[in-house]
Structure formats: structure tokens, C-alpha cells
Structure 1
Amino acid sequence: MLVGGAITQVTVEAMAKGQAERLMPLLQDVMTTAGLSFDDLDAVAVGVGPGNFTGIRIAVSAARGLALGLGKPAIGVSTLEAQALGYPRPCRAVADARRGMVYAQDFGGGDLSPRLDAADAVGDDHPVAGPVPAETLVTRIAQIAADRLASGAELARPAPLYIRGADAAPASDPPPVILP
């Protein structure tokens, strides 16, 4: 939680599944511990990926729903941008995409679009901002979102940043028959 420009609380719970069921109670716990209500928020920040496909969808949906219900802005921040915060420019943010691939994005010149690269093709033409602990990532997302809010610029609704398709395959069972 970012209050008055300072991080006052960071809560991270690693979990393989159950994120959708745990997210809102976790947010309520954070607010209660801080002695605040959701109405006290100025905005809702959310990491939009790239990352775990389902986790990103859950996070973005929850942030947008909470912000809509509160009448506050929701601010999406790329996890690659958060990794690169504080690195001298130019730099390249890199995150594991599994199966010998990485998500990569260059900051400070050239094509700034995130992309999927082979892990052995990252290159050394820029300093690399690699993975950071979850607590650091959350803190940086909050800082970037606060800067965007303070800038007064128009804020687009957050949307998941998908660089490749989901690993899940379509169901192989035939669809149900709809009766008249």
C-alpha cells in the first residue's frame, strides 16, 4: 500500500491455485490492517503482465471491478516496466516465460514493445533488469501507478498484457446439446 508517497504495507502470498477465492479477502485484510476503508483509496494499481495467464486475468478483473465500484481509476502497469524501474536507460527487462523463452522489453530507445524471445537470444547490448522479488515488484507497480495518477494524464483501463497464447488447450469433449 502506498500512502503519501511511501510504501506502508506489502503483502505477498505465493499460491499455486485459489487466487480468485483469496484475492478479495486478502485485500480486505490489507485495508483493515492499515486502518483504512476501500473508499479511502485514490486509485487501484494492478500488474497487467506478462505473466501467469490466469493470475493476470484475475488481478486485472478484480482491479477493474473494484475501481468501477469505488468510482476510482484503475491503473495497469507492465511487470517488465516495474522490473526496469530505477535502471539507467537504455536497459532491457527480462522475465522467464518458461519452455526456454523469456519475455523481454527494451526501455530508453528503439522499439519499446514487449516481446517473446528465446532465452539464449537476450543479448548483451543493454544492461538487463532481471527478475526482482515479488515484494519489490509490487512496490514498483504502486510507485509507477502513483506517478501516472499524479501526472494528470488520461489513464486507459488496464488490460492483460498477453504476449503469447494460453497454455490451456480447448476442451476435447463435445459441447453440450442445448435442448429447445
Structure 2
Amino acid sequence: MPPETRLIAFDTSAAHCAAALLLGDRVVTRVDDMAKGQGEHLLPMLQEMLTAEGLAWRDLDGIGVGTGPGNFTGIRISVSAARGLALGLGKPAVGVSLLEAQACGLDGVVVSCLDARRDMIYIQVFGAGDRVPQLCALDDLPPISVNARIIGPVAEQISALTGLAVVTPSEPPINAIARIAVQRIGGENSRPTPLYIRPPDAAPARDAAPMIRP
């Protein structure tokens, strides 16, 4: 991509609205903590970031979006927004998982993890055949190299069980999402797709649907 590529990335998979505006070598980051209301907050927030830099939506070269894992509703909000913006602007949209974003820029074997609640974690190993992301219990971890390092919100807990070293990210995950996305613009990217690892909490109704008579 050209050195002055302009891309906006955002993520609402957790209790926040996070965004990064990548302007060549410069990144403008904003993270608004919020447990709900991301759907109404996201687009005005992105507009404010663009306006502050004297940019319009048409000035962007692409869109990056966090695809999870995380909150089901939050993931749907951001991925749907990215797809809609890409369609309306005629710009490419690239999805990036938070597990990959956390491991961005780190050498060697890296175990990226996120809290899945209910004593469960999301985990993915990079740098050793790059395994697929999975959901597991803290006391039932997949095989991990003794040379691996751990990164993420539950890294300390995994380290206490395994003795592996913990590493901290060099920048916010939203910035990494933007940097990964800009490198993938122009490649063979499909539409951003939510990364749902855990099955939804909501179960279908057991009662039969009401009959609709003409």
C-alpha cells in the first residue's frame, strides 16, 4: 500500500468503542469505555475522529474491524458497520481477530488469550503452526511449547499454571487491527466475518410458534 494510506479501524467486541485512524505512519486512537449503547455511539464517534483530522469518509482507503471473539452483540455491531461502510463507500473492509491483534509484532511462539467468562478462556497459539482459536477451561489448556510467551487479559492466570513468561503488548490492540488491516488491503479478502467461538447464550424457545391463520 502507498505510504500515506488512510484507514479507520474499530472494535466493539468488549465493553468499549475502540477506534484507530491510521494516517500513513501516524495513528490516532480513541477508546470510549461503555457497557452498552455501542450501536448508537460508534458511527458518530468515527465521524468525530475524521472531522478532527479534516477528513471525510471518501478520503479513506479502507476499513478495518475487530471480528472477536467477545461479546456477540458487540461483534455484530462492528462487523455490520464495517460491511455497510464498505458497500456504501466502495472501499475494502478487512476483518482482524483480537487474538491475532494481540500477538502482532511479537517473535517466536506466542499464546494469545482473552477472558471468555465462566472460568473459560479464548486462546490461540501463533508462531508454531498457528493453531486455530479455541475455547477452553483454564485447567484444560491445549499443549503449549515451553518456549512460548503469553499475552492477553488472562495471561497472568495462565502463567501461574504453566510457568510461562508474560509479555505485554507494545500498543493497544485496536492499533494492531489497523496495522494488520492496512497490510491486507488489495489482497484476497472476503467480507469481514464474526469470529464466534462460544455458542450463543440464548436458546431457541421451546414453545411452538403461534399459528397464523389467513
Instruction: State TM-score, norm by structure 2.
Output: 0.75
| Match in the other structure for 1:114 | 133
State the identity %.
Answer: 55
- Is 2:177 the counterpart of 1:144? no
| Unaligned runs of at least 5 residues, structure 2 | 1-20, 154-167
| Match in the other structure for 2:189 | 155
Matched position secondary structure for 1:157? coil
Residue 6 of structure 1 and its aligned partner are, at CA, apart by 2.1
For residues 48 and 18 of structure 1, what CA distance do their matches in structure 2 show? 18
Aligned alpha-carbon RMSD (Å):
2.0
Instruction: State TM-score, norm by structure 1.
Output: 0.89
For residues 29 and 172 of structure 1, what CA distance do their matches in structure 2 show? 45
Native 8 Å contact 1:87 1:129 kept in 2: no
Normalized per residue, the structure richer in helix is 1
One-letter code of the match for 1:129? Answer: I
Residue 58 (structure 1) aligned to one of 73, 77, 84? 77
Normalized per residue, the structure richer in strand is 2
One-letter code of the match for 1:136? Answer: P
For residues 29 and 202 of structure 2, what CA distance do their matches in structure 1 show? 31
Deviations 1:119-150 (A, max 9, x none): 233465321122378x701111001111112x
For residues 74 and 174 of structure 1, what CA distance do their matches in structure 2 show? 40
| Cα pair distance change 1:81/1:111, threshold 3 Å | closer
Q: Give the length in aligned residue pairs.
A: 176
| Cα pair distance change 1:99/1:178, threshold 3 Å | same
Deviations 1:71-118 (A, max 9, x none): 000000010000111222211101100111110111112352100111
For residues 204 and 48 of structure 2, what CA distance do their matches in structure 1 show? 36
